[in-house]
Amino acid sequence: DYLQTLGQKGPFALVSDENVASYYADSLIQSFSSARLDATSIVIPAGETHKTLAVVNTIWEQLLAAGMERSSTLVALGGGVTNDMAGFAAATYMRGLDWVTLPTSLLCMVDASMGGKTGANLPAGKNLVGAFHSPRMVLADPAVLKTLPHVEITSGLAEVVKHGVISDPRLFEICAGGLEQVSQQWETVIKRGMAVKVQVIQEDPFEQGRRAALNLGHTIGHAVEALSGYTIRHGEGVAIGMVAEARLAEKLGIASNGLAEQIAGVLHRLELPTEIPAEMPRQKLVEIMQHDKKRKGGSVRFALPTTIGNVQTGIVIENLPQLMAEI
Ligand code: NAD
Ligand code: ZN
């Protein structure tokens, strides 16, 4: 119905990963055929290790085999990995065709599906190839979260809490109710989580300023993830990073004392970690953060929370190694 309202033309190609396809691809293909719309199912392997150009290539070839033209529509169904690769295939196949995305992981609903960033990894690093190509529609159905593994739920909630801290105190308060309460009101949580991202990217569609607010928790979080050899999941790294960065904000005097503990309390109730593992040398984390930046020719810039609902961006910390040792 939504596709017809938007006037999207077929043939359609549905791209999903093997896990998501096993739950939902058949019923979607069924809906297409009941509406007399021509749709092909393309299934890709699941997981970040398969977020490669080799897999994008298999999508391109299957689009061609399915007779997709410039006026056809690609439909992505899955988590952030599927969203990013299917979106990139849509951005590039025949110089770009329309796509819509049906996010099925919490992270993809509140984060990856919006903003138009698509792409794949190279062996040298994450998301090194890509394009900005916004979907014509993002349609999230909270019912699919029933099959999402528990760790993916908590991991996604780290980004929801982040959105609360950036600009939605009410969302933060809902999260403070804990996992049980949050899962009784997915629709509200997802809508509010999406709204924060939409608002930020509307202010800064091509990532020149305000969008840096979305990096809250990610500067330290990425370093923690990397130093753990990726045994710490993305959402867990973001949770740890948010608390650590709030502590930095307190030390710099831009946040009042107690903000970090307030954030930690909420993350704890959502079963997320809040402390940098004791065995991780703080100096190593600083080196990782600085190394990432050096490649891009700049200094490490933080997005730091000042209150629940406000973030200050572009902050360079002169005595970073010393402050990191204190938090
Ligand atoms: P993912 O796509 O790998 O999904 C996580 C796992 O959950 C996968 O095994 C998937 O098969 C499974 N799954 C998804 N939905 C399910 C459901 N409803 N039921 C059962 N299983 C389900 O990972 P993710 O955490 O969704 O996304 C991470 C990716 O998102 C990263 O590659 C990251 O770079 C990207 N990302 C992109 C943006 C952006 O702006 N484009 C923003 C943030 C993250
Ligand atoms: Zn993130």
Gap between the Cα atoms of 172 and 183, Å rounded? 14
Gap between the Cα atoms of 305 and 249, Å rounded? 7
Count of alpha carbons within 13 angstroms of residue 153, beta-carbon side: 19
pLDDT tens digits, 221-238: 999 999 999 999 999 999
Q: How confident is residue 296, by pLDDT bands cut at 50, 70 and 90?
A: low
Show the DSSP H helices in 136-254 as ranges: 150-167, 169-176, 179-183, 186-203, 218-227, 234-252
Q: How confident is residue 245, by pLDDT bands cut at 50, 70 and 90?
A: very high
Please give the mean pLDDT across all residues of the chain: 96
From ligand 1's centre to the CA of 26, what distance in Å?
Answer: 20
Residue 69 identity (one-letter amino acid): E
* Test site for ligand 1: of 24, 81, 121, 157, most ligand atoms within 8 A of the Cβ: 81
Q: Does ligand 1 lie within 6 Å of residue 144's CB atom? A: yes
Gap between the Cα atoms of 101 and 140, Å rounded? 8
Q: Which of 280, 264, 253 is nearest to 217 (CA)?
A: 264
Q: 40 has which bridge partners? A: 13
In a 3-state reduction of DSSP, which class is residue 141? coil
pLDDT tens digits, 89-130: 999 999 999 999 999 999 999 999 999 999 999 998 899 999
Buried b (16+ CB within 10 A) or exposed e, 109-142: bbbbbbbebbbbbeeeeeeeebeebbbebbebeb
Q: Does ligand 1 lie within 6 Å of residue 103's CB atom? A: no
Name the residue at shortest CA distance from atom 36 of ligand 1.
112
Q: Quick check: is 211 catalytic?
A: yes
pTM: 0.96
Q: Quick check: is 234 catalytic?
A: yes
Compute how many other C-beta atoms are within 10 angstroms of the C-beta atom of residue 71: 12
